[in-house]
Structure 1
Amino acid sequence: MKLSPHFYLTMAFILLIASCTPSESSSQLQSQTHQVKSSQKVVNLDKNFQIAMGQTLYVPIYSHIYHDDRQQVLNLAATLSIRNTDLMNPLIITSVRYYDSNGKLVKQYLEQPIQIDALASSDFYVSRSDTTGGLGANFIVEWVAQTEISEPIVEAVMIATEFQQGISFVSSGRVIKSYKQSKR
């Protein structure tokens, strides 16, 4: 029997996931902050920083979903992705906060604002073992820019694999507050 290349890729992915070490406990997760990647710059928004535009976004997150007639819970890992779609200008992420189903702040991911350069991206992770968010968890993301730019794409990817099954889906961010400096 000849196996397809897709089969081998799927098996490699399953082996990769199975070889991952267990993640930290939720109490350890809450005390950690986002590690700034080499492509990001920590910025200081002093009094001379002029904001031309900005937004606050709500991104739904599912730390688990129900299956099998709501009798079983499948925990999910979530990756929040923030992508600067502007061809020329950076944007500044001022805040990334993770809330649970009751609207209680679970984790603040940034201690200081970070800059995402043109066409660059940043991501923030909630492990599969972190169930503190619940079914109605969410991220609140705030960003600003010094010039008018194209709006970023902000999405969350939820994923889980168990046995030989896998599930993944995307949740898009929704603008809940917008700021644009009026031209005089």
Structure 2
Amino acid sequence: MRYLPRISFSTSILFLLLLLLTTPEASWSASSEVRLSKGQTVYVPAYSNVFTGPRKLPFQLATTLSIRNTDLSASFQITAIDYYDTGGKLVRRYLEKPQILGPLASSFVHIEEKDTSGGFGANFIVKWNSDRMMNSPIIECVMIGATGGQGISFVSPGQEIKE
């Protein structure tokens, strides 16, 4: 019988870390570059419900669109927050006039759990602009729901569709 040396747990962890750190494909940051822009149109998936179980029962979710200015010194102007349904039809416009978002400030739109007007494939289109190059904002939706002791929550990030 061949004897294999025992490797301690800490040695195993150290070995795995070294292996991961020396792997060329390893990526340890959420984003390796700062994205600068003077404005964008951003598509953000928003789920007013998801389907559960074998009968595909709808599980209603509250949706919060979050717009966060990540720049330390620049403000930007939000010019549109529009909500579309599964079929691509405009359901609601959330801005009557442009809104200024200062450095590190945040804004949000909340859609209640009982509002099913958007359906499964709902989305927001958010437009923003600035008079100078600045850090692009974080624009995402947070969905959350709880029914009968069961809960679900998740985030869907925005996707730039036009500079």
Shorter-normalised TM range? 0.7 to 0.9
Q: Unpaired segments of 5 or more residues in structure 1?
A: 1-51, 179-184
**Are 2:71 and 1:86 aligned?**
yes
Q: Which residue type is aligned with residue 49 of structure 2?
A: H
Match of 1:53 in 2: 38
Q: Deviations over 1:28-68 (max 9, x none)?
A: xxxxxxxxxxxxxxxxxxxxxxxx81100000011111001
1:119 pairs, out of 104, 118, 140, with 104
Aligned-partner Cα distance in 1 for 2:147–2:49? 13
1:154 pairs, out of 115, 130, 139, with 139
Aligned-partner Cα distance in 2 for 1:176–1:78? 21
Q: Identical aligned pairs, as a percentage?
A: 50
Aligned-partner Cα distance in 1 for 2:56–2:72? 48
Q: Which residue type is aligned with residue 143 of structure 1?
A: W
RMSD: 1.0
Aligned-partner Cα distance in 2 for 1:98–1:173? 13
Match of 1:75 in 2: 60
Q: Which moved more, 1:57-66 or 1:67-76?
A: 67-76
Q: CA deviation at 1:164?
A: 1.7
- TM-score, reference length from structure 1: 0.67
2:150 pairs, out of 165, 171, 174, with 165
1:107 pairs, out of 92, 113, 116, with 92
Q: CA deviation at 1:73?
A: 1.0
Q: CA deviation at 1:167?
A: 0.5
Q: CA deviation at 1:108?
A: 0.1
Residue 44 of structure 2 aligns to a residue in which SS?
strand
Aligned-partner Cα distance in 1 for 2:135–2:94? 24
Q: Which runs of 4+ in 1 moved over 3 A?
A: none
Q: Unpaired segments of 5 or more residues in structure 2?
A: 1-36
Match of 2:116 in 1: 131
Match of 2:47 in 1: 62
Q: CA deviation at 1:79?
A: 0.0
- Whose radius of gyration is greater, 1 or 2? 2
Aligned-partner Cα distance in 1 for 2:120–2:75? 33
